[in-house]
Amino acid sequence: VIVLETLYVATPVLTAQAPILAIVIPLLGACAAAMAPSARTAWMISVAASLFGAWMALAVAGEAMREGVLVYVLGGFDPPMGIALRIDAMGALMGLLIGGVGTLAAVFSGHSLVAEVHAEKHTLFQAGFLLVQAGLVGLVFTGDAFNAFVFLEVSSIGTYALVAVGEKRDRRALPAAFNYLIMGTVGATFYVIGVGFLYAATGTLNMVDMAARLATLDQSMAVQAGFAFVIAGLGVKAAMFPLHGWLPGAYAGGPSLISVLLAATATKAAIYLMVRFMFEVFPQGTAFGEAFLTWVLAPLAAAGAIVCSVQAVFARELRRMIAFSSVAQVGFIFLGVSLANADGISASLFYMVAHGLMKATMFMALGALALSIGARRLDDFAGVAREAPWTAVAFAVGAASLVGTPLTMGFLAKWGLIEAAIASGQVWIAAVIAAGSVLTVIYVGRMIEAMFFRAPSPGAPRAKEAPIGVLAPLLVLAGLSIWFGLDASLPEQLSQAGAARLFEVRP
Amino acid sequence: MNMGELLIVLALGLPLFAAAVIYAVGRMPDVRETLTLVSCIGLAVVAISIFVRVGQGQPPELMVTQPVPGLSIAFRAEPLGALFAVMASVLWGVNSLFSIGYMRGRREANQTRFYMCFAIAMFGVMGIALAANLFTLFIFYEVLTFATYPLVTHAGTPAARRGGRIYLITLVGASVLLLLPGIIGVQAVAGSTSFVAGGLLAGRVDAVVGSVLLLLLVFGAAKAALMPLHGWLPAAMVAPAPVSALLHAVAVVKAGVFTVLKVSAYTFGPDLITSLPAATWILWVGAATIVIASLVAMTKDDLKARLAWSTVGQLAYITSAAMLPMASGLVAGGLHMVFHAVAKITLFMCAGAIYVATGASRVSEMGGLGRRMPWVFTAFLVASLGIVGLPPMAAMWSKLLLMTAAFAGGHWVFAAALVASSLLGLVYLLPIAFRALFPPLGEPAVREFVRPGGTPGASVIAVCATAAGCIVLFFLADGLANYLAPIRAVTIMEGAP
């Protein structure tokens, strides 16, 4: 069993400031990277800032586990007037995921940008990459509803630009980025409208305050409309079926680096915020909330899990397959959320981490292959396991975790989700997850069959094993999926503690 | 690490190590095959040591890891598992001996992959046999599925790939859709999936939940090939004969029925399972499977297909036996698992030997062949009698016990199905050996050998050894039944009027 406190070494001064440093250092790094004289310097800044951010996230996680909840008041202005960062186990878990995957992705970017992005854009690209990280970490750390909007926009605007940069390799990145820009902006607008309604009703933007006041208010139309706007707006960001239209294009078109970061963290951060609103900000057990969970969230999640799995089965391009799979997996996560109890949320949080790691592994492996073959269609990947065995094995580990193979984290994640569904008496949810898993086996089977068992088509470009700078982060990611499959105490503790906090009796 | 832990580590580690070494020395066939045989012997010794220690009341245990609380990868030997491990490891040795003759005789490609997958499959089997809980069992159950897939598709032809796809989809589909939800259901109800003497779920579930879980677990173990999830077994007949021998006698199908037996004995327990309506339903399905499979077997001219359908029927014996735990059903099931394995592996190896020597794969081509291959067909005859269950073949005892259990439980229809199936067995198996050994006058010319020298010597030794096993086990049956007796977890209900 890992004890979190032993994992990091930070001086007391740093620990006290860790929540804000985790956000500000990547933000400052972004400015520095933009002004960097060369692509190489920008890359080094990016790695250093991401690593520092991850270290701070670790410090925050340790503190959050010890203290239960960590409140950091910005600028000395006390809430409700000032803005406070407020991190519990759930936020700490998300912060760790973002910091960890961000660091590995930053290391990976050294080689992959050269192949996929025009040279003159490298410094700006690294700046955008750090902005996205800063925004995502801010989103999961903040305790202020409007501040969350700001961070949401910081990360989103960075993302739109970074997806568009993928046009060097695939011209379709441009319409995909535009599509994402429009839908993302609509989503963010919905969110801010919802927050506006809530502000009008409660007179506060601080989430804790808001929750306390909403608990005493009657369920007015304004509050309900606010809830609906917030959920719909975040639903776009979280790629909740059927608001996921932007995702396959953005994941498939953007540079590999962005697919890695987005797939692992972006939708997860939005889901995290939704969970926060659904169970912490809004009072639990209202008729409106229950109706939403039973009649909107659960059916949509189930439909997404099945429909998008089928789309993944029939997709022809590999990255698009994985992207559809991501939407389907978001459906699984929401199914766990719709159980509306600590077991379900805990299982969903765990699933988010598992899914983040496995998808990051798969996209990074494809990025490693993209260094030597610019392939898109599944058929083009035939037989790459012979030329690039390490990359292919890492991909297979991610895929195995996706399927839910025992001894990977994905298995424990599915197990937890199904167990929570059965324990809550929602057997149909367990059945949907099982059915979705079978579809997953089919499309993952197609990928593995092509990579490992088919002979390369004659005349196709030959894949090469990626350089060590790419292999190292890739193998670390794949290793994490296995490590947490054998000893899941770290994510398990955090997700359980986080879920339990949502449901403890409040004064 | 004490002796028990060491034995379990060896039981799991040896086959895995063998797989790695086989891969490393793949270019040297002689070394590779010697190593295979050495590891077979080593594994058999380990398995027998475990078997003995269980008999002495010191079952080896090993706790590996606990990924999340309540869910652990752990091993603990018990009589049923020890017996399964011994059976599988000994028959792996015999089968490897046979394989060497067969694969060399046929000059098959990819032999290194073949031996390696066999070793990994044995790793899976040992894990299944020694698992201390359903979670661990499930992991190794899947290892076995994926390790045997390349064996089924060994030929690489489109037909082999199609058979392999049906194999994989049925087994993985059933285990993900039924077995895994069933196991998770057990965890949700009981907070654990451990195998507990007397039944983990006893007193924790009502008839409805218990029935649902039982159906999920029994049908989810699709390797047991209970209808309607039997289709993969005939489809997997595209595999080379040694693979069929291992899959359909030893490793895969027996892993399925072994899972059902374990679930019956340790997850539900005798008291609970007999009170569940689902157990009676499964008994009906089992009876139907037994009769239908025997009837279909009669219509098949392809020898391996006929044997596969016969297996479907015989497996349903064991699954049904697991539903009769109050009487001697569990013991009968455990014994039949072993006795059928020995007889069926003989039949499949004979089929392979005939195919290598003469190229004949259809029953109608085998008339009079007994004169060219007397040993092989004598073994075939002995094993046929072993399947039917006539004395002095071991399977007589298991069938007798099963029949007694069926009567004791008042399941007359099932008892009738047993009788019918034995008679049908006589009809579809015995004529093959008789026509070969004692061809009627006027039989068309007997087929010639296609391989100079006829049957490979290694293969002949293997079939004779297992055929002799059918007879030897007849005399050991009582000892084995006593060895298995503890799994019935005698309760206060036992012996009540």
| B185 pLDDT more than 90 | no
Q: Please tell me the distance in Å from A24's CA to the nearest CA on chain B.
A: 35
Q: Please tell me the distance in Å from A325's CA to the nearest CA on chain B.
A: 18
List the one residue out of A277, A270, A388 whose CA is nearest residue A333: A270
Token pair for B279: 């157990």
Instruction: Find the CB nearest A488 among B68, B168, B173.
Output: B68
Alpha-carbon distances of B449 from A96, B373, B396, B461, rounded to whole Å: 69, 10, 35, 19
CA–CA dist A341, A335 (Å, integer): 12
Q: Do A488 and B67 touch (CB under 8 A)?
A: yes
The residue-averaged pLDDT of A227-254 equals 88
pLDDT confidence tier of residue B327, bands split at 50, 70 and 90: low
pLDDT for the residue numbered A75: 81
The residue-averaged pLDDT of A121-126 equals 87
Instruction: Find the CB nearest B67 among A404, A441, A485.
Output: A485
pLDDT for the residue numbered B61: 82
Residues of A in contact with B188 (CB under 8 A): 419, 422-423
Instruction: Quickly tell me which residue has 């367990």 as its tokens.
Output: A430
Q: Do A406 and B185 touch (CB under 8 A)?
A: no
Selected residue of A422, A428, A439, A443 to mutate for chain B interface (largest B Cβ count, 10 A):
A422
Q: What is the pLDDT of residues A1-38, one digit of tens each?
A: 445 555 555 566 677 888 898 999 999 999 999 898 88
pLDDT for the residue numbered A356: 93
CA–CA dist B13, A418 (Å, integer): 32
pLDDT for the residue numbered A381: 82
Q: Please tell me the distance in Å from B254's CA to the nearest CA on chain A.
A: 21
Q: Do B181 and A405 touch (CB under 8 A)?
A: no
The residue-averaged pLDDT of A338-354 equals 92
Residues of B in contact with A418 (CB under 8 A): 180-181, 184
- Helix-strand-coil split of chain B, %, nearest 5: 75, 5, 20
pLDDT for the residue numbered A190: 95
Q: Do B184 and A422 touch (CB under 8 A)?
A: yes
Most confidently modeled range among A448-452, B94-98, B322-326, B337-341? B337-341
Q: Do B176 and A437 touch (CB under 8 A)?
A: yes
Chain A residue closest in CA terms to B156: A453
Q: What is the pLDDT of residues A359-375, one digit of tens each?
A: 999 999 988 888 877 76
pLDDT for the residue numbered A355: 93
Q: Do B68 and A404 touch (CB under 8 A)?
A: no
pLDDT confidence tier of residue A213, bands split at 50, 70 and 90: confident
Q: Do A438 and B67 touch (CB under 8 A)?
A: no
Alpha-carbon distances of B313 from B220, B332, B420, rounded to whole Å: 18, 16, 11
> A-side interface with B, Cβ within 8 Å?
404-407, 412, 414-416, 418-419, 422-423, 430-431, 434-435, 437-438, 441, 445, 484-489, 492
CA–CA dist B198, B201 (Å, integer): 9
pLDDT for the residue numbered B453: 67
pLDDT for the residue numbered A170: 75
Chain B residue closest in CA terms to A491: B68
Helices (H), A6-88: 12-35, 39-67
pLDDT for the residue numbered B410: 78
The residue-averaged pLDDT of A145-150 equals 92
Which residue would you say has higher pLDDT here, A95 or B300?
A95
- Among the ranges given (A156-160, A239-243, A496-500, B447-451), the one the predictor scored with the smallest mean pLDDT: B447-451
* ipTM exceeds 0.90, yes or no: no
Selected residue of A412, A414, A419 to mutate for chain B interface (largest B Cβ count, 10 A):
A419
Per the prediction, chain A carries an average pLDDT of 87
Q: How far apart, in Å, do the first and last CA atoms of chain A sit?
A: 33
Selected residue of A306, A341, A346, A411 to mutate for chain B interface (largest B Cβ count, 10 A):
A411
Q: Do B173 and A438 touch (CB under 8 A)?
A: yes
List the one residue out of B486, B199, B154, B144 whose CA is nearest residue B352: B154
Token pair for A376: 């898109």
Is residue B245 within 8 A of residue B348, CB to CB? The reply is yes
Residues of A in contact with B68 (CB under 8 A): 412, 416, 488-489, 492
CA–CA dist A112, A435 (Å, integer): 36
Q: In degrees, to the nearest 5, what angle opens at C-alpha A307 toward C-alphas A303 and A311?
A: 165
Instruction: Find the CB nearest B177 among A414, A438, A487.
Output: A438
Residues of B in contact with A412 (CB under 8 A): 67-68, 71
| A60 pLDDT more than 60 | yes
What is this structure's pTM?
0.83
Q: What is the pLDDT of residues B6-38, one digit of tens each?
A: 888 888 888 888 888 888 887 777 777 788 888
pLDDT for the residue numbered B493: 40
pLDDT for the residue numbered B395: 80
Residues of B in contact with A419 (CB under 8 A): 184, 187-188
CA–CA dist A340, B189 (Å, integer): 19
pLDDT for the residue numbered B494: 40
Residues of B in contact with A407 (CB under 8 A): 139
Instruction: Find the CB nearest B172 among A416, A441, A489.
Output: A441
Q: Do A438 and B181 touch (CB under 8 A)?
A: no
pLDDT for the residue numbered B436: 78
pLDDT confidence tier of residue B93, bands split at 50, 70 and 90: confident
pLDDT for the residue numbered A506: 57
Residues of A in contact with B184 (CB under 8 A): 415, 418-419, 422, 430
Q: Do B65 and A488 touch (CB under 8 A)?
A: no
Q: What is the DSSP string of A336-392?
A: HHHT-SHHHHHHHHHHHHHHHHHHHHHHHHHHHHHTT----BGGGGTTHHHH-HHHH
> B-side interface with A, Cβ within 8 Å?
65, 67-69, 71, 138-139, 142, 168, 172-173, 176-177, 180-181, 184-185, 187-188
List the one residue out of B330, B232, B349 whose CA is nearest residue B273: B330
Which of helix, strand or coil describes residue B276? Answer: coil
Q: Do B176 and A423 touch (CB under 8 A)?
A: no
Instruction: Find the CB nearest A418 among B67, B71, B181.
Output: B181
Q: Do A406 and B168 touch (CB under 8 A)?
A: no
